[in-house]
Amino acid sequence: MTKHFLVSFYTILSMLCVANSAVANPANKTVSDLSASVLRVKVQLANGSLGLGSAVVIAKNEVITNCHVVNDSTNIAVIVNGEPHKATSIKADWHHDLCMLTVENLEVPSVKMGASKALQYETPIFTIGYPDETKAPVSTFGAVKGLFPMDDSVIIRASSSFRLGASGGGAFDDAGNLVGIITLKSKGNAAQYFFMPVEWVQALMSKPAQTLGLKSEKPFWAKHASQRPYFMQVVQPYVSQEWSTLLKVATQWVKNEPNTVESWFYLATAEYATKDYSNAEEHFKKVLALNNKHSQASEYLAIIAQKTAIVDVALSQLAQLN
């Protein structure tokens, strides 16, 4: 019985791992065509130093990037075929870290907008940006791993990695629609990668343009830790395995956002890590009730089932000995 169960368990776990390995698989032409619409951004900062970032062409003579890319700059240019094109005005959403630049005579095709709110867990996506000091755009491939409701849209977490300099670049679905803007990642080797939603970009497009040199404000992710969204507050204790801290934050998150899938996932993860298997099982099931595509919750439930079965077998064998 025990051997049969273990074979079944590892078969299930193997299937889950295969499912988790799915990544974006767009046509080469799709990536190539979109790469022409993602540009290098170069800025001259007030202290005289040079800053680098990325931007996506979203309309005639309009590009979107992160505000932290152009913050405190005295001169902003996007590079097209090696030639700099100066930005002449800006539309800024400092809180969401999204800035739209007007760049005259920008003969570059614009991308098609998708819908961040329509994404599901494990939806394949890929990124295009200019990390480090690369002269050619770089693509990475992955899938959606988290969706965090915020201000009428969702912040996206995905396994599509990126490096410094790619900020302001684009995240696309397999059809080539823009679904997110590369924005921030957590620290360390087990980094998590986050993208701002296109709905915020679309809202910004309707705002009036202003002259460059506006006084900036801190984005939500740069505020004091206690003021940051819960999805940011759980990252460090989760990565560092500080389970009591994670349990405390996740408990508060569930209380304030009971319909957010990830609040229950992190609570259940902390409970599992502290060997509170009964509550962990209940709450992982809650995760799947809210989102049946949450593969990590399924994995945890499979492991809990294994532990429960082994204990049941051991107790049965002990009873027979008595």
The per-residue pLDDT for 307 is 81
Q: Return the residue matching tokens 């389970």.
A: 243
pTM of the full predicted structure? 0.86
pLDDT level of residue 22 (50, 70, 90 thresholds): low
Per-residue HEC secondary structure of 140-196 comes to EEEEEEEEEEECCEEEEEECCCCCCCCCCCEEEECCCEEEEEEEEECCCCCCCEEEE
Section 4-30 average pLDDT: 51
Q: Are the C-beta atoms of 183 and 173 separated by less than 8 Å? A: no
Q: What is the mean pLDDT of residues 297-318?
A: 74
Angle of CA points 190, 193, 196, to nearest 5°: 165
Residue 73 confidence (pLDDT): 86
C-alpha closest to that of 127 among 138, 118, 119: 138
Q: Do domains 37-110+205-217 and 112-197 have the same CATH topology?
A: yes
Does pLDDT of 238 surpass 50?
yes
Q: 289-292: long-range contacts (C-beta < 8 A, 24 or more apart)?
A: 290/259, 290/261, 290/264, 291/121, 291/261
Of the chain, the percentage scoring pLDDT greater than 90 comes to 72
In CATH, what number does 112-197 get? 2.40.10.10
Q: Which neighbouring-strand residues pair with 197?
A: 180
Domain ranges within the chain, ordered by starting residue: 2-22+223-313, 37-110+205-217, 112-197
Q: 34-38, 39-43, 177-181, 309-313 — which is least confidently predicted?
A: 309-313
CATH superfamily of 2-22+223-313: Tetratricopeptide repeat domain (1.25.40.10)
Note the pLDDT of residue 7.
32
* Residue of 231 and 214 predicted with greater confidence: 231
Q: pLDDT tens, 188-226?
A: 888 999 999 999 999 999 999 888 877 788 999 999 988
Q: Which residue has the tokens 């319909």?
A: 259
Q: Which of 49-53, 59-63, 164-168, 188-192 bottoms out in mean pLDDT, i.e. has the lowest? A: 188-192
Residue 265's pLDDT band, with cuts at 50, 70 and 90, is very high
| Alpha helices, DSSP H, located in the chain | 2-20, 28-35, 67-70, 198-205, 230-233, 235-240, 243-256, 261-273, 277-290, 295-321
The fold of 37-110+205-217 is Thrombin, subunit H (2.40.10)
Percent of the chain with pLDDT strictly greater than 70: 89
